[in-house]
Homo-oligomer: A and B are copies of this chain.
Amino acid sequence: MVTLADVAQHAGVSASTVSYVLSGKRSISASTRARVERSIAQLGYHPNAGARALASSRSNIIALMIPLRTDMYLPVMMEIAIAVATTARGHGYDVLLLTGEEGPAAVRRIEGSALADAMILMDVELEDDRLPLLREASRPGVLIGLPADPAGLSCVDLDFEAAGALCAEHLAGLGHREIAVIGEAAAVYERHTGFAERTLNGLRERSGELGLRLLHRPCEGSYAAVAATLARVYDERPGTTAFVVQNEAATDPLLALLRQQGRAVPEDVSVMAICPDQLAAHASVPLTSVAVPAQKMGRHAVEQVVAKLEGRAADGVVLLAPELTVRESTGPRPVPVPPVSPR
């Protein structure tokens, strides 16, 4: 194991000089710097993380807490996690992966042990147990999601209200009057993760202004569940001409079922989704969608957290503006065919 002292000896300088070369916190003459850098390279020196953390009280680690739930939108979580890890590395940080399992105790543990310099929390609920602890913590934290009370915290999320509104506008603009929302599984609403409710609020409000009739049904992602929900929708609102889907797993089954029922998309019925772009683009009918920008969210969260660590950012909520991409699954409202009058 190569140590700072080894490098110092090899370069013929003192240990502190090597340290200053590494950190840049004091000026070093060009010749000394070069000599030290050569020694570092030759010896293959890497600073010991523990010693560094102990001496500087900075671990250069960011903790990322992901939900444990294995039932839901894993791809989005994974994309965020990868974006977080990649961005963090770019800023010289490593990422510690925590699962939601430990709950608030994890926050305390990280804080107490100085394992990480900061935390990023995913899957935040409206009244999350971890938030009070995070507010008191001496280390910065950033949420991906939006709790009921974001005071004293930094948050990054998609503006789901605006996303909902955007959907309503798009469909209203195409002349639709009755639309159905295929939502997340009921459990998601019960957990009050917020994003689903916010989408719904946005949809409802804008729909009201635009004179759309809205029907919302939570729905599991399985084929059978989508089939049941669809049947119910047409039963309750036969005049439905457009769907908004906010459940990644439900889009494919929905398209398959509509096709099976002889309803052409978008000629007979329009479908739009709130989901990652990749998914929308690869569906059996490329879907008009509002993107869930997983990568961007991960990147923003890290940048926010790093900014706070460097003391050049305050708390605040960042809501990313939703972007609508029109693909092939939405079209004008079909002209209602007048029933053939029996003569």
List A91-142 residues whose CB lies under 8 Å from chain B: 94-99, 101-102, 108-109, 111-115
Give CA–CA (A96, B78) in the complex, Å.
15
Residues A114 and B82 in contact, CB atoms below 8 Å apart: no
Q: Does A31 belong to the interface (CB within 8 Å)? A: no
Q: Does A79 belong to the interface (CB within 8 Å)? A: yes
Once A75-B74, A79-B70, A95-B97 are accepted as A-B contacts, the answer to whether A282 and B50 lie under 8 Å apart by CB is: no
Residues B64 and A59 in contact, CB atoms below 8 Å apart: no
Once A51-B54, A222-B282 are accepted as A-B contacts, the answer to whether A102 and B78 lie under 8 Å apart by CB is: no
Give CA–CA (A77, B74) in the complex, Å.
9
Which of A188-196, A231-239, A251-259 makes up part of the contact surface?
Answer: A251-259
Give CA–CA (A98, B88) in the complex, Å.
10
In the complex, which residue of chain B has the Cβ closest to the Cβ of A249?
B282
In the complex, which residue of chain B has the Cβ closest to the Cβ of A56?
B50
Which of A41-49, A150-158, A318-326 makes up part of the contact surface?
Answer: A41-49
Q: Does A66 belong to the interface (CB within 8 Å)? A: yes
Give CA–CA (A79, B69) in the complex, Å.
10
Residues A113 and B79 in contact, CB atoms below 8 Å apart: no
Residues A101 and B78 in contact, CB atoms below 8 Å apart: no
Q: Does A68 belong to the interface (CB within 8 Å)? A: yes
Q: Does A341 belong to the interface (CB within 8 Å)? A: no
Q: Does A9 belong to the interface (CB within 8 Å)? A: no
Q: Does A14 belong to the interface (CB within 8 Å)? A: no
Most buried by B among A2, A47, A74: A74
